[in-house]
Structure 1
Amino acid sequence: MTSIQFFYSPDFPGIALRANARQALENLGMNQEMQETEAAPGQIGSPLPALAIDGEIVVSGLEPSVRELELLFADHVQERQEDFSCGECGVECGGMNCTENCTRCGKNGEASSMVARIIGFVILLIILFTAVKILA
């Protein structure tokens, strides 16, 4: 789930940024709650008001239009989906434990991760080493 944070201070309330961000989320149909945090100027390392998505400051010191924020949010959602969904079957699996017959994720829904292969190989080496020690 995406985390959206709005940072402001009494000196830099960011009324337009707050309103535009809420409107952009509503226009996109994103039922995402925006966490509002009062911060001291310089506390977050960027000019206030500021907007962060998943902990990354994406807007600071200015107040973009609703349309600009819609594009920003839509781009972020698209990037997130590309990071976590399989290009072949469309399942949000990150390339593992996918549906049947997905060549990218695995065979028949099984994970085909490199880590699992390495762990299996290490276990095989331990078994072989132990067998050699016993037989020697």
Structure 2
Amino acid sequence: MCNPVSCGHPPNIINGYIMTKDHTYGSLLTYGCVPGYNLVSHGKLRCAVDRSWKGDVPSCEPVNCGIPPSIYNGKVDFNQTTYKERAFYFCNNGFDLIGSGMHKCLATGAWSNTSPSCQPVFCGEPRQVINGEVHGKNFTSIKL
């Protein structure tokens, strides 16, 4: 009785895993990636008669969330747009940030949180002016 040739444990890939259990002659390996990563190059490895794996080893690359949304009267700072990276939102002078100022690239390829907004700073009701009148409604800036 003959035993099938085994190629042993196939090469591991970073942020990935081997889905195939059969490591004997003629078997074709299937790889997968952990959440937040996509399989790049659908390289296939096959167990050869000389007990080696033949073919191209695939790789797993981080999901790309794309450019984070811009906001009016503010800006967004970021270095990368891939899984686990962060984007930070800031408002121009005279505006307050409403919502989360930090967004993270998720495994789904979307940015966490909804986009914040920059609203004018509310100065409050102006004080009374002696021998004068105050006109206006929003009071985001005052001219005397």
TM range (shorter): under 0.3
* Higher RCO structure, 1 or 2 (CA under 8 Å, sep 6+): 1
User: Which structure has the greater CA radius of gyration?
Assistant: 2
- Greater helix content: 1
- Greater strand content: 2
Normalised TM-score (structure 2): 0.27
